[in-house]
Structure 1
Amino acid sequence: MTGKRRHVIWALVLSLPLIMAGGPALSEKRLDERELYNQLTLFGDVLEQVRRNYVDAPSDKELIEAALSGMMASLDPHSAYLPPKNFEDMQVETKGEFGGLGIEVTMENGLVKVIAPIDDTPASRADMRPNDLISELDGKPVLGLTLSEAVELMRGEKGKPITLTVLREGEKEPLEIVIIRDTIRIRAVRTRVEGPDKNIAYIRLTTFNSQTTKNLKKAFNSLPAEIGSKNIAGYIIDLRNNPGGLLREAISVSDTMLDRGEIVSTRGRNEDDSSRFSARRGDMARGLPIVVMINGGSASASEIVAGALQDHHRAVIMGTQSFGKGSVQTVMPLGGDGAMRLTT
């Protein structure tokens, strides 16, 4: 065994207690330590053979990142390893401004699946639709890429075009859609007055980022003042094509329209990982009727809000079946400025 190989394997073996420490307490649920050691040894063998014998000298950093990305991608479509740049981009996105196409995506059967285009972005103007499947990016097949790799290909400088090959239900042939990249600035909340008597408050929630609840509360204060507190008949909350976002924002948005009751509960692998979130007194809609609009692009946080308001008979839900994402991802910062997004 060479010194380098010995170093790689011992580094992996030394990590074993840290890996095992996070496992369930009951013995029947714990990984077999001997088998795990064997698998880590195998990983070390493969890594060392690639480092020594591959036709081109590989980057150790790229090899490890690829292994981490593959491991996370094997779990579910929503878990992922985030290299430093991707993690930085994700943090920027949740604040409401980033560069790209303006499209929320996931993976399905090896292809990129559109959850929803974001309002007033290149993707929405190009008529990208929920449930579209992207099979190629500038002629490069998506099959075999991780979600992070596909998203990275869709990013780019403002003004640069990208051609998406799209499989769409009802279309016999793939569509070639050219989109010009742009800086995406998300307005989480948009409002207007509707109805023949101009007495219905319309609130459009486009995403659940760090600005959503704050701007929603402003809307609940400004719209009654604009319409007249005695004239306002009710609210329309439009969650169509809202792909979701931060769990805490889904909870706080629901709380603005509820006086009591459970909003959502989460259940993890261990009992200690389960949580319940309940509403506090203070319905900012003041008991007025609420209609919530959803469609196939309403996912995750949107479904939490719609479900909570429906369960407590606080709103009427109208539209079509929502996307159907009932899992929660936790972002865990890692050493080297990267992170992992893990379904917990």
Structure 2
Amino acid sequence: MKIAGLLRSAALVTAVALVPATTASMAQIDGRAGPEFAKLFATYQRVKASYVEDVSDEKLVRGAIDGMLAALDPHSAYLDGSDLERLNTLIDGNYSGLGLSVVMEDGAVKVVSPFKGSPADKAGVKAGDYITHLDGELIYGGDLDEAVARMRGKAGTSIELTIFRTGREEPFEVAVTRGVIELEPVTHELAAGNIGIITVNEFSADVGADVFRAWANIREEATGRVSGLVLDLRANPGGSLDEAVALSDLFLDSGRIVSQRGRARGETLLYDAETVFRGDMAEGVPLIVLIDAGSASASEIVAGALQDHRRALVMGERSFGKGSVQSLLPLGPNAALKLTTARYYTPKGNSVQEGGIKPDIAVPQLSDPDLALRQKYLTRESDLRGHLINEIGIEDEELENDAVKDPRFQLTAEELEEKGIEDFQLHYALETLRRTTKSSVALRD
């Protein structure tokens, strides 16, 4: 591994060093590339000759690559070694650490969502939290990969997170014990009234098949016919596009699920129903999809497909708004580019980039005592520096105007706790299914 890393670094340095000698060949690709590469090489030479300390070629070239990709969007990155290994283990849904999905926002590590049931979730870490220190050491302004690497570690060891949470005047510390995160990507339960609840925590391998098995188990556990189903995609940061298509296909028997459009005309890919699973597995059963600001990417593909086909009522809060596709492009045996290569669109041709999926019924999470202040400072894709712009040009006012005061949503978190309601959004979805008919829920106007 070490030898391969050295060879990889040497190859990168050689590529930079040969730029002046290969300007003619570069010009065949883009006439403007030669002068721009000359600027890069001149900067490299000046730093090597004049910087206050000696700097390795590997550090300079890696910095140039990271800067190049950071100028594109928040999701493109160069991965090698442990970074690439972490991505692969996340896709597999089995790794050791805290169980957090995080992004870098203006130099701060911000939690997109804690995976349900993970050590971070059990310790009380919430979506929207800022992690400012690890074991008392300031990480603000540092590298996201380094912060993630420090939070990962051997199961059973602990780390102290200093957290700034909107709504609290002072930061606070949380000790979290690392665990082997064998996430259950899919869980299920049967609620009163023969209503099934299927929670999808992330889109790792075989999620479509797991949801199919969960539905079969719900039907076996029910005393009679299942009268409704809640598909909970809240705090689900996404994952595999193929699994998002498979999950959508479980509930659709025809039509488009999602389209993926790249820069070139020939890079458009269409994903249709009836290609993974046959028929609607829950035909005739009213379906509600729950989403929130932590529902991103693959979650938005599923919610958008079921909403556009009028197969489900989407409820909760507007989703994160990540409507781009990242491809893993190999660069040798131990490195790869995670590069944004396309945008995706719902069956009706709508892009969720920036705007997200707007729920049919906006339901605030009233059981969250910090709801008001957390909503004020909530971060979505449209707030990330360098994010892709939605091609239709959505106004900021439209993105921010999620909710209006509703007489149904006036109870406080304390009043809900007295009533025994720990999750108001789920409670509201279940009550909706109990008091409405199939046609009024699944076949709305």
Provide the TM-score with structure 1 as the length reference.
Answer: 0.85
Tell whether 2:240 aligns with 1:243: no
Aligned to 2:216: 221
Aligned to 2:76: 79
Aligned to 2:294: 297
1:182-331 matches, cutoff 5 A: 182-195=179-192, 197=193, 199-227=194-222, 230-280=224-274, 281-331=278-328
* CA distance, structure 1, for counterparts of residue 35 and residue 21 of structure 2: 10
Which amino acid is the alignment partner of residue 102 of structure 1?
A: G
What is the CA deviation profile of residues 11-61 of structure 1, one whole-angstrom value per residue up to 9, with x for unaligned ones? 57649857975xxxxxxxxx543xx32332232233344445555544433
1:41-52 matches, cutoff 5 A: 41-51=38-48
Tell whether 2:152 aligns with 1:144: no
Q: Which moved more, 1:87-96 or 1:151-160?
A: 151-160
Tell whether 2:4 aligns with 1:9: no
What is the CA deviation profile of residues 136-189 of structure 1, one whole-angstrom value per residue up to 9, with x for unaligned ones? 333444443343233223222223333333232212222333322222111111
Compared CA separation, residues 67 and 143, structure 1 to 2 (3 A): farther
Aligned to 1:27: none
1:165-180 matches, cutoff 5 A: 165-180=162-177
Q: Which moved more, 1:146-155 or 1:184-193?
A: 146-155
* CA distance, structure 2, for counterparts of residue 19 and residue 329 of structure 1: 28
Compared CA separation, residues 12 and 158, structure 1 to 2 (3 A): farther
Q: Is the 8 A contact 1:95 1:211 kept in 2?
A: no
Compared CA separation, residues 336 and 144, structure 1 to 2 (3 A): farther
Aligned to 1:26: none
* CA distance, structure 2, for counterparts of residue 136 and residue 161 of structure 1: 14
1:102-141 matches, cutoff 5 A: 102-141=99-138
What is the CA deviation profile of residues 64-96 of structure 1, one whole-angstrom value per residue up to 9, with x for unaligned ones? 223222221222211111112211221122111
Q: Which moved more, 1:144-153 or 1:251-260?
A: 144-153
* CA distance, structure 1, for counterparts of residue 139 and residue 293 of structure 2: 23
* CA distance, structure 2, for counterparts of residue 14 and residue 103 of structure 1: 44
* CA distance, structure 2, for counterparts of residue 168 and residue 15 of structure 1: 51
Q: Is the 8 A contact 1:13 1:40 kept in 2?
A: no
* CA distance, structure 1, for counterparts of residue 291 and residue 254 of structure 2: 23
Candidates 36, 39, 46, aligned match of 1:39 = 36
Q: Which 5+ residue runs of structure 2 have no aligned equivalent?
A: 1-12, 342-445
What is the CA deviation profile of residues 241-262 of structure 1, one whole-angstrom value per residue up to 9, with x for unaligned ones? 1111111111111111111122
Which amino acid is the alignment partner of residue 44 of structure 2?
A: L
Q: Which 5+ residue runs of structure 1 have no aligned equivalent?
A: 22-30
Q: Which moved more, 1:255-264 or 1:8-17?
A: 8-17
Provide the TM-score with structure 2 as the length reference.
Answer: 0.67
Which amino acid is the alignment partner of residue 75 of structure 1?
A: L
Q: Is the 8 A contact 2:329 2:336 kept in 1?
A: yes
* CA distance, structure 1, for counterparts of residue 27 and residue 125 of structure 2: 42
Q: Percent identity at matched positions?
A: 41
Q: Output the aligned Cα RMSD.
A: 2.6
Q: Which moved more, 1:265-274 or 1:137-146?
A: 137-146
Q: How many residues align?
A: 326
Compared CA separation, residues 59 and 19, structure 1 to 2 (3 A): farther
